[in-house]
Structure 1
Amino acid sequence: MARKNHTFYFAERPVGEIVPGRTFNYVEADAPTAEELKDGQVLVETLYLSLDPAMRGWLQEFRSYMPPVAIGDRMRGDIVGRVLASKSSKAKEGDLVYSFAGWTEMLILDESNINVLKLPPGAKPTHALGVLGLTGLTAYFGLSKIGQPKPGDTVVVSGAAGAVGSVAGQLARIMGAKHIVGIAGSEEKCKLLTEELGFDAAINYKSPTFREDFSKAVPDYINVFFDNVGGEVLETALHLAAPFSRFVMCGSISGYNKFAEGTDGIPEIAGVRNLYRVITHRVRMEGFIFTDFLQEVPEARAQLAQWLAEGEIKAKETIVKGGLKVADTAINQLFTGGNTGKLIVEVKPYEEVSNSSVINQCFQ
């Protein structure tokens, strides 16, 4: 019997949360085979699928830094996969590869659409989707290019127990910040930040005393604010901003599910009522995405790999088991606080497909 393949195709633009079984169609078909390969192509089996907040915006009709996913298209996303067969000089059978391949179990890819993975000592394949991938690069460039923490600075990170925030706080310490505060959505996550990830203080934004707790956690003023949340959290941070502070505008996840008709598909993120402080305190607020710095990615990734190998950075992950079919349910954890660190779907465990040892280099 021919091997079957499963793929999620985009079916309906959601107004609020992604609805399992409705937003996407889960389709079964015959799997591609090695016999179908052309020169320069590889047959790849997905092992791990990255789930990211940015995906929610891709499902709307407005164009941001990427065009929206078209109805009927395979849902896009980053994967780590294994090469099953190859007609490419770039990758051989058994290699681990990274690709922006989308929500599917198997597919044929041109060699230009893959990167062969060579992981640093102690690293796991999933790290290529997190601390050594988009997550780590976003935190790294946001801090090094915009935040630029200096000795003595107070750095505050919102969404600090998430994929980007958990790395950003650790990088702030490495880059010399004096006092690092994390904002998270539960007491358990706050405890993780201070006891495992090296934050000096952590505050629960769901607490009824959040604003008071925020003020107490900041010894003077905020010099660098790394924002993943927006809304009330951003407003409160502006109230505590130091003159000439730097606000790194990375995300506004508090409003990603708030869409309404007549808004051109733009999320209704709560407005900030004290923007006048940007003027009075000469605050620099700058948005970015990691692809703004593509030429510097190899150097940045190598530095992150070194810090990971040395134990300077700890990678936090939430890995959802159950195969590809759970992806359209698991993605909502991003918006309900269900994940800690990087959210990943285990499509097929790496242990099942390889007994190879870790290679002591970073990405090719």
Structure 2
Amino acid sequence: MVVAKKFVINKYFEGEPKRSDLSLVEEELPALQDGEYLIEAKFLSVDPYMRPYVYRVPLGSTMIGSQVAEIIETKNPCFPVGKHVMANVGWRTHTVVREDDRGVFEQAPYILPDFDGLPLSVGLGVLGMPGNTAYFGFLEICKPMARETLVVSGAAGAVGSHVGQIGKIYGLKVIGIAGSDAKCKWLKEELGFDHAINYKTQDVAAALKEAAPNKVDCYFDNVGGEISTIVLGQMKQYGRISVCGCISSYNADPNALPKVTIIQPLILFSQLRMEGFIVMRWLNRWEEGINHNLKWIKQKKLKYQETVTEGFDNMFDAFIGMLQGKNTGKAIVKV
């Protein structure tokens, strides 16, 4: 009999998530039925989407999330023992999986492709959902062209850092907005961003005018809020905005959100195109994104970084740290 550990949702988050909102419990797993297989988690992901998406599952459910896991027992010939899968089964160490276990994003488990010597954890980051979020969300919505100017907020996170590098591959001038001098240094010196703005210590509007005197063509928005309003105010005619997230407001009381500048005149008079997206829109092209990102890594055009927390019991700490911006690149928990 296999005993699994899992985090269960006791209470929906109000404000910043509290440790008491989740409980770490043990569960005895049943014997496998035909078509099922048993996986053991190796790496788990913590991502901003978990904060708003938790409301989509009932209280008492396993905390949502994805993991890279090894198949350790199987009664499904399509999922043999020893293979590794990406599965949206939540915060748990062991799971009996059926092929229709799709999670909140309705994505079925899949066997990880050959990553050509890269660690398995990249299946949760640069060669997984965040990588495809950057690839499709930027290229399909912003339609970038060489010599244009791109601004990325949340630029030192898993998605933002990736988007900026794709911008450089396509010949754009790239400006990142991040929350520390260390992150800004990493963006410029390691990833090749042209400029980086520390929103905690700099006047974003003034710094952006200096970095982009001819204004901005494309904006990849991870944060929302007043920072995004500032960027919209400095965009060119017919600029394009890809709205990936709004992490600045995830912990806010929805009934007491701060007032921000009205953005409709900015969109109207600059004739901007602003579009939100969920990456699963391109689920039928999933392998395309992974293959392009892997090619760029092999060509040394794309770099990635992981902030790794050791130990399944520390999932909540990694989650809170990610929401507070303590990670650089992809936040991962290693079991």
Q: TM-score, normalised by structure 1?
A: 0.86
> How far, CA to CA, are the matches of 2:230 and 2:27 in structure 1?
51
> Quick check: 1:315 aligned with 2:313?
no
Residue 274 of structure 2 aligns with which residue?
285
**SS of match in other structure, 1:26:** strand
| 1:306 aligned residue (295, 309, 317) | 295
Superposition deviation, residue 3 in structure 1:
5.2
Residue 328 of structure 2 aligns with which residue?
340
Residue 173 of structure 1 aligns with which residue?
168
Residue 354 of structure 1 aligns with which residue?
none
RCO higher in 1 or 2 (8 Å CA, sep ≥ 6)? 1
**SS of match in other structure, 1:295:** helix
| 1:221 aligned residue (215, 221, 227) | 215
Residue 297 of structure 1 aligns with which residue?
286
116-125 vs 147-156, which moves further:
116-125
In structure 1, list runs of 5 or more residues that go unmatched. Answer: 61-67, 348-364
Is residue 252–residue 269 contact of structure 1 (8 Å, CA) maintained in 2?
A: no
**SS of match in other structure, 1:331:** helix
Amino acid paired to 2:14: V
| 1:197 aligned residue (172, 191, 197) | 191
Is residue 225–residue 237 contact of structure 1 (8 Å, CA) maintained in 2?
A: yes
Amino acid paired to 2:306: E
Equivalent residue runs for 1:230-245 within 5 Å: 230-245=224-239
> How far, CA to CA, are the matches of 1:270 and 1:149 in structure 2?
31
Superposition deviation, residue 72 in structure 1:
0.4
> How far, CA to CA, are the matches of 1:277 and 1:93 in structure 2?
55
Paired residue total: 328
> How far, CA to CA, are the matches of 2:206 and 2:306 in structure 1?
30
| 1:109 aligned residue (77, 81, 97) | 97
Distance change in 2, residues 1:222/1:14 (3 Å): same
Residue 104 of structure 2 aligns with which residue?
none
> How far, CA to CA, are the matches of 1:221 and 1:114 in structure 2?
43
Residue 148 of structure 2 aligns with which residue?
153
Superposition deviation, residue 302 in structure 1:
1.3
Residue 6 of structure 1 aligns with which residue?
5
Aligned-residue identity in percent:
36
Distance change in 2, residues 1:143/1:296 (3 Å): same
Superposition deviation, residue 292 in structure 1:
1.2
Residue 119 of structure 2 aligns with which residue?
124
Residue 63 of structure 1 aligns with which residue?
none
Distance change in 2, residues 1:195/1:325 (3 Å): same
**SS of match in other structure, 2:17:** coil
Residue 27 of structure 1 aligns with which residue?
25
Residue 188 of structure 1 aligns with which residue?
182
Amino acid paired to 2:15: G
**SS of match in other structure, 2:328:** coil
| 2:137 aligned residue (142, 147, 161) | 142
Superposition deviation, residue 333 in structure 1:
1.4
| Cα deviation digits, residues 159-207 of structure 1 (max 9, x gap) | 0000110100011111231x10000000000000001111011000111
Superposition deviation, residue 314 in structure 1:
0.7
> Quick check: 1:100 aligned with 2:94?
no
> How far, CA to CA, are the matches of 1:183 and 1:244 in structure 2?
22
Superposition deviation, residue 256 in structure 1:
0.4
Superposition deviation, residue 220 in structure 1:
1.1
> How far, CA to CA, are the matches of 1:119 and 1:271 in structure 2?
46
**SS of match in other structure, 1:199:** coil
**SS of match in other structure, 1:160:** coil
Superposition deviation, residue 59 in structure 1:
2.8
> How far, CA to CA, are the matches of 1:95 and 1:208 in structure 2?
48
Task: Provide runs of 4+ in structure 1 moved above 4 Å.
Answer: none
Superposition deviation, residue 269 in structure 1:
6.2
Amino acid paired to 1:280: F
Superposition deviation, residue 317 in structure 1:
1.1
| Cα deviation digits, residues 119-154 of structure 1 (max 9, x gap) | 322321111000111101111111111111111100
> How far, CA to CA, are the matches of 2:115 and 2:202 in structure 1?
43
Equivalent residue runs for 1:75-94 within 5 Å: 75-94=63-82
> How far, CA to CA, are the matches of 1:124 and 1:233 in structure 2?
35
**SS of match in other structure, 2:25:** strand
> How far, CA to CA, are the matches of 1:115 and 1:295 in structure 2?
13
> How far, CA to CA, are the matches of 2:122 and 2:302 in structure 1?
12
Distance change in 2, residues 1:12/1:166 (3 Å): same
Amino acid paired to 1:163: A
